Amino acid sequence: MTIRDRLIDPALALTPSERKLVRVILANYPVAGLGTVATLAERADVSDPTVVRFSTKLGFASFTAFQEALLGEVEQRLRSPLMLMEVRQGRDDSHPMRSYSQAMAGSLTSDGEALSPLEFDRALDLLIQAKGRLILLGGRFSGYLAGIMEAHLRQMRSGTLLLSGPGTDLIDRLADLTARDVLVVFDYRRYQSDVVTFARQAKERGLKIVLFTDRWGSPIADEADVVLAAEVEAPSLFDTMVPALAQVEAVVTAMVERIGKPALQRIEALEQVRGANKVTVDRDPQARDSQVRDSQAKDSQVRRSSDDPDTA
């Protein structure tokens, strides 16, 4: 059982401080665990004794023993043929689209390995069990992720709200928040001061917070009840939102499966309303079949003409 396996083991009961440690270690595994006790404690915003006690909880006699096990995993991985294969695959830069796609595939894989099932399940619990509204907020680019998630959530339940607009409007929204609401906030480097401020004041009003951020962690992480971190680095001048979008879609998919019949009934009701108002372009099946037959007849006629020497 690797240390990563121990960190994501559902049977591992964690305190809030220990959850912070797990987030930090998994976000940059295994490097994050190879520094000093003080360094790791500072990054996770916990005390030095908490780090030492946590290494003991994982089954190690000391923090030194914990690090020796981590180093052993690193050494074993460097010897693995899989590592050499990954390096060779990473050298294929024959086309920008191919190299970028490979980089994104690597980010998605590493994010999947670093994800804590406990943290993911806690996010689902907060979203599904919310007594009030699900309020979504993001930054300049991450606001689009918030919009995508809100559009999905709206299909599963009523009482969702996407916050957008100028900062003054955002401040006014604080007056409407209640402790029954859950704030879903997206904040990636460079972290936006208005988003951070709003989240902190929402926490003061009693809201639970689900934070989507990068592996360095938005300042909101100190206030959040759940933190889902995604890789944002890409072979580009700009950070990528692809892994973060994958997290959003994974959460939405899991929510539909967990809610079950009520979610499907609401989606069906929405589809009926959309159909009645012709929201989407749905062709008549008979007309579509007729169009296909006409196309096939024309193709057949063209083939006969090309085979006839008198018409060539």
Domain that holds residue 23: 3-80
pLDDT in tens, 182-211: 999 999 988 999 999 999 999 999 999 999
32 and 122 belong to one structural domain: no
Long-range contacts of 260-269 (CB under 8 A, 24+ apart): 263/155, 263/156, 263/157, 266/155, 266/156, 266/157, 267/155, 267/156
**Is position 187 within any domain?**
yes
**Is position 308 within any domain?**
no
76 and 148 belong to one structural domain: no
Cα dihedral sign, 262-147-249-129:
negative
**pTM of the shown model:** 0.69
Which contiguous run of DSSP H or E holds residue 142? helix 142-156
148 and 213 belong to one structural domain: yes
167 and 46 belong to one structural domain: no
65 and 129 belong to one structural domain: no
Of 211, 249, 246, 251, residue with least CA distance to 228: 211
65 and 208 belong to one structural domain: no
Residues 244, 249: Cα–Cα separation, whole Å: 9
Q: Average the pLDDT over 203-226 and give the result.
A: 90
The answer to which of 15-19, 112-116, 201-205 has the lowest mean pLDDT is: 112-116
Q: Are 228 and 185 in contact (CB under 8 A)?
A: no
Structure-model confidence comparison of residues 308 and 7, the more confident one? 7
Query: Of 270, 287, 305, at which residue does a domain stop?
Result: 270
**Best mean pLDDT range from 16-30, 146-160, 217-231:** 146-160
**Is position 65 within any domain?**
yes
**Beta strand 208-214 with 134-137: parallel, antiparallel or unpaired?**
unpaired
75 and 121 belong to one structural domain: no
What CATH number does the domain containing 74 carry?
1.10.10.10
258 and 196 belong to one structural domain: yes
178 and 62 belong to one structural domain: no
**Is position 70 within any domain?**
yes
pLDDT bin (cut points 50, 70, 90) of residue 170 is: confident
**Is position 110 within any domain?**
no
What CATH number does the domain containing 259 carry?
3.40.50.10490
Count of domains for the chain: 2
Of 11, 41, 23, residue with least CA distance to 123: 23
How far CA 254 is from CA of 111, 177, 257, 258, in Å, comes to: 17, 27, 5, 6
**Beta strand 160-162 with 182-186: parallel, antiparallel or unpaired?**
unpaired
Residue 265: burial class (beta carbons within 10 Å; 0-12, 13-18, 19+): exposed
